[in-house]
Amino acid sequence: FRLLIGPEGGLSDTEVHQSQEAGFTACSLGPRILRTETAAITGLSVLQATFGDL
């Protein structure tokens, strides 16, 4: 798995395009805006809850 965490203001259109070309699939943690370090922990927690220990 690869997890790309963007800045609080979101990714630019160029960054979105580049990440899609690199094979990333867009997803969201919902409408809330999280600090970068909180988003990383939350994203990893979702992966672990879904797939178990990786």
Residue ranges of domains in the chain: 13-51
Cβ atoms of 10 and 26 closer than 8 Å = no
Task: Specify the pTM.
Answer: 0.70
From first to last of its 54 residues, the chain has per-residue pLDDT tens of 889 998 888 899 999 999 999 999 988 888 888 998 999 999 999 999 999 987
Token pair of 14 as six digits: 């160029």
Token pair of 5 as six digits: 């965490």
pLDDT at 53: 84
Backbone angles phi, psi at 44, to 5 degrees: -65, -35
pLDDT at 30: 84
* Dist CA 35 CA 4 (whole Å): 14
* Dist CA 30 CA 21 (whole Å): 23
